Amino acid sequence: MSDPQLVLAARVQAALSAAFGPSYADTDPVIRPSQFADLQANVALPLAKKLGRKPRDVAQEIVANLDTAGVVADVQVSGPGFINLTLSDAWIAGEAQRTLEDERLAVPTAEKPQKVVVEYSSPNVAKEMHVGHLRTTIVGDAIARILDFLGHDVVRDNHVGDWGTPFGMLIEHLLDLGEEAAARGDSSVSDLTAFYQAAREKFDGDPEFADRSRTRVVKLQAGDPETLRLWQVLVDVSKQYFNDVYGRLGVTLTDDDIRGESFYNDLLAPTARELEDKGIAVISDGALCAFPPGFTGREGEPLPVIIRKSDGGYNYSTTDLATIRYRVDTEHVDRMVYVVGAPQSLHFQMVFAVSRMAGWLDDEVKAEHAQIGNVLGTDGKILRTRAGGTVKLSELLDEAVERAGAVFDGIQHDEPFDDATREAIVRDVAMGAVKYADLSVARDSEYIFDFDRMISFNGKTGPYLQYAAARIRSIFRKGGLAPEDATGPIVVGHPAERALALELLGFGAVLKQAGDTAEPHRLASYIYAVADAYTTFYENCPVLKAPDDETRASRLALCAATLRTLVTGLSLLGVPTPTRM
């Protein structure tokens, strides 16, 4: 354990137990950053209330029982009873050295590895992906990568919308165009937005087409082989498009991760039956409904989760219930993380509530909605094209590359790049910019999609962090060394060395938090803090021209540890780090 907060928390807890008895061993020591020391333990204030004593006296007693050996250099009681703790330089240096030497940068794996389904991206077949999907894709991929790194058994799950009534009209429209159009990659099929809209218009304007479409839905649901084949053609066209976007973004999803709504089709009836048998679902106005307690409408009337409509058809909710039941009964998962837009919050709350009633979810098996906020344009409104349409993801990424190229050409480079190299770097910069901008904001907050701000080599941006990593590599190149050759030993003398080393020790705790809460922005902020501490260090502490060999070796080792933390951290966000920039 090298996270200073955790180490000090354990020491303070031991002191609490020694001072006030073993029942206090689990008390939260309330460790916080401090202006006057490295950290502050504020437990004396709440504890004093409980004990009916003066906070300062309680603080003094904790300090008297505190084992400082090897870790704490100085401890002071200040103000009403804050305990200011200063770590010893030798401890910080020693832990930084251990981090450097450890393959995993001293990040522990989970004590209890779980089987975790991370459901993300989940676009709809025969529809263009929009910026909302961009965000669930990027955030979900980061969550999956982080949980993977922490040693969990991660199941990536792309719950694509590939089933339901629209497929009747989509298949009929495909037949009207001629299947060969799809095989040729004809734009009438591959331009998904246009394809969908054309089908919709015919459905609304042509009764004969609408009739055919409805008959087609019935055939699809009955499993008619020819209809299923045509359906598969549409699914495949879309998959190609999804994979193209994933490839460009460097997202880890593959075809094997797709488990669309259609997969659960055969499980809908048994799911409905189980809910009925358990007395959770009842017939109301001809529909089979569950009424989870606590969900009421405006007039206080109970809100239903409709499981089977009065016409016998099943709902979006039914699929989600069948999915949970399947994951629990067949896949034995411990945790499900749904990376889906915030507007679906009520839907998930109600589906989870029904699943708890059914006993599929409980304290052992948990589901959580990792809510994703809206993406806004620079005008503060939902991002739209100038013409007012939804922004196509592929066009958005094209623009990112173009703009990244212009910004990239405007900065100083160590060396000239040939066209192919430049192009590869620019692509990484563009994707890094888009992804980091998305990930640095708390996932449930809205954020403004602003190319100018995200594609900048200054500020809290992807390109700034990529550049920081490239700069460290260039120090090693100039010194004729490989980062792996920097083995230390690390000593901390200058305050900037100390601050950087201390920052590096926080990686494991941040990752654990990001994994536990499914909040990658915690990691994004941490990486920025590391780069920031590095910049201060770099401005104050000459590395290659250090005053003596020991200092040079230590500073090179700090550079190497920083580089690996940046590269590893960014890769867990799915942000690539070009080796030269």
Tell me the window of 118-126, 187-195, 465-473, 571-579 that interacts with ligand ARG (CB under 6 A): 118-126
Q: How far apart are CA 285 and CA 207, in angstroms?
A: 29
Gap between the Cα atoms of 535 and 191, Å rounded: 46
Q: Is there binding between residue 340 and ligand ARG (CB under 6 A)?
A: yes
Q: Does 13 engage in binding with ligand ARG (CB under 6 A)? A: no
Q: Shortest Cβ distance from residue 91 to ligand ARG (Å)? A: 47
| Least Cβ distance, residue 518 to ligand ARG (angstroms) | 15
In what helix (H) or strand (E) does residue 284 lie, and over which residues does it extend?
Answer: strand 281-284
Stretch that binds ligand ARG, among 13-21, 90-98, 115-123, 429-437 (CB under 6 A): 115-123
Where would I find the H helices in 479-520?
A: 495-504, 507-517
Looking at residue 22, what DSSP letter applies? Answer: G
119 or 172: CB nearest ligand ARG:
119
Least distance in angstroms from the C-beta of 127 to ligand ARG: 8
Is 173 a binding residue for ligand ARG by CB under 6 A? The answer is no
Interface residue with ligand ARG among 124, 137, 271, 554 (CB under 6 A) is: 124
| CB nearer to ligand ARG: pick between 37 and 160 | 160
CB 524 within 8 A of CB 433: no
Stretch that binds ligand ARG, among 8-16, 119-127, 175-183, 409-417 (CB under 6 A): 119-127
Output the CA angle 393-397-196, nearest 5 degrees: 20
Burial class of residue 281 in the structure, from the number of CB atoms within 10 Å of its CB (0-12 exposed, 13-18 middle, 19+ buried): buried
Asked if 371 is part of the footprint of ligand ARG (rule: CB under 6 A), the reply reads: no
Compare residues 161 and 574 and give the one whose CB is closer to ligand ARG.
Answer: 161
Question: H/E element holding 156?
Answer: strand 153-157
Q: Does 137 bind ligand ARG (CB under 6 A)?
A: no
Shortest Å, Cβ 255 to ligand ARG: 17
**With binding defined as CB under 6 A, does residue 129 bind ligand ARG?**
no
161 within 8 A of 261, measured Cβ to Cβ: yes
Q: How far is the CB of 355 from ligand ARG (least distance, A)?
A: 12
The span of 54-62, 117-125, 165-173, 439-447 binding ligand ARG (CB under 6 A) equals: 117-125
Can residue 320 be called a binding residue for ligand ARG (CB under 6 A)?
A: yes
Q: How far is the CB of 249 from ligand ARG (least distance, A)?
A: 17
Tokens of 328: 């629990």
Residue choice 42, 84, 99, 122 for contact with ligand ARG (CB under 6 A): 122
Question: Measured between alpha carbons, how far is 104 from 568 in angstroms, rounded to an integer?
Answer: 9
Closer residue to ligand ARG in complex, CB, 65/165: 165
Nearest to 241 by CA among 433, 414, 392, 346: 392
Q: What is the DSSP string of 177-201?
A: H-HHHHHHT-HHHHSHHHHHHHHHH
Smallest gap from residue 117 Cβ to ligand ARG (A): 10
Alpha carbons 102 and 564: distance in angstroms, whole number: 11
| Residue 305 binds ligand ARG, judged by CB under 6 A | no
Task: Check binding of 159 to ligand ARG (CB under 6 A).
Answer: yes
As measured in angstroms, the least distance from the Cβ of 373 to ligand ARG is 15
**Helices of type H across 260-338:** 268-277, 316-329
What would the two tokens of residue 188 be? 């009438």
- Select 137 or 440, whichever has its Cβ closest to ligand ARG: 137
- Closest by CA position to 162, among listed 265, 272, 252, 244: 265
Contact region with ligand ARG (CB under 6 A), list: 85-93, 116-124, 139-147, 384-392: 116-124
Mention every residue, 6+ apart, whose C-beta is less than 8 A from residue 526. Answer: 506, 507, 510, 569
Nearest to 468 by CA among 171, 103, 279, 460: 460
Q: Which is nearer to ligand ARG, 326 or 338 (CB)?
A: 338
Q: Given the complex with ligand ARG, which of 20 and 338 has the nearer CB atom?
A: 338
DSSP β-ladder status, 115-119 and 72-78: unpaired
- Binding flag, residue 260, ligand ARG (CB under 6 A): no
Output 122 or 466, the one with its CB closest to ligand ARG. Answer: 122
The correct pick among 4, 29, 81, 161 for binding ligand ARG (CB under 6 A) is 161
User: Under the criterion CB under 6 A, does residue 3 sit at the interface with ligand ARG?
Assistant: no
Are 106 and 99 in contact by the 8 Å Cβ rule? The answer is yes
Pick from 458, 447, 442, 438: nearest CA to 397: 438
- Between residues 106 and 372, which has the closer beta carbon with respect to ligand ARG? 372
Residue 280 DSSP symbol: -
User: How many alpha carbons fall within 13 Å on the CB side of residue 144?
Assistant: 23
Give the Cβ contact number of residue 331 at 10 Å. 12
Number of residues that bind ligand ARG (CB under 6 A): 9
Of 324 and 511, the one with the shorter C-beta distance to ligand ARG is 324
Applying CB under 6 A, the span of 120-128, 244-252, 477-485, 523-531 interacting with ligand ARG comes to 120-128
Nearer to ligand ARG, 82 or 338 (CB): 338
Which C-beta is closer to ligand ARG: that of 176 or that of 236? 236
CB 192 within 8 A of CB 238: yes
- The verdict on 227 binding ligand ARG (CB under 6 A) reads no
Which residue number, 125 or 570, has a Cβ lying nearer to ligand ARG?
Answer: 125
Dist. CA 45–CA 36, nearest whole Å: 18
Calpha distance 514→88 (Å, rounded): 28
Report the nearest approach of ligand ARG to the CB of residue 337 (Å). Answer: 11
- Return the residues of window 478-497 that contact ligand ARG according to CB under 6 A: none
Nearest C-alpha neighbor of 572 from the set 114, 156, 137, 141? 141
- Whole-number minimum distance, CB 396 to ligand ARG, in Å? 17
Interface with ligand ARG, residue 40, by CB under 6 A: no
Peptide bond into 520 cis (omega under 30): no
Contacting positions for ligand ARG (CB under 6 A)? 119, 122-124, 159, 161, 320, 338, 340
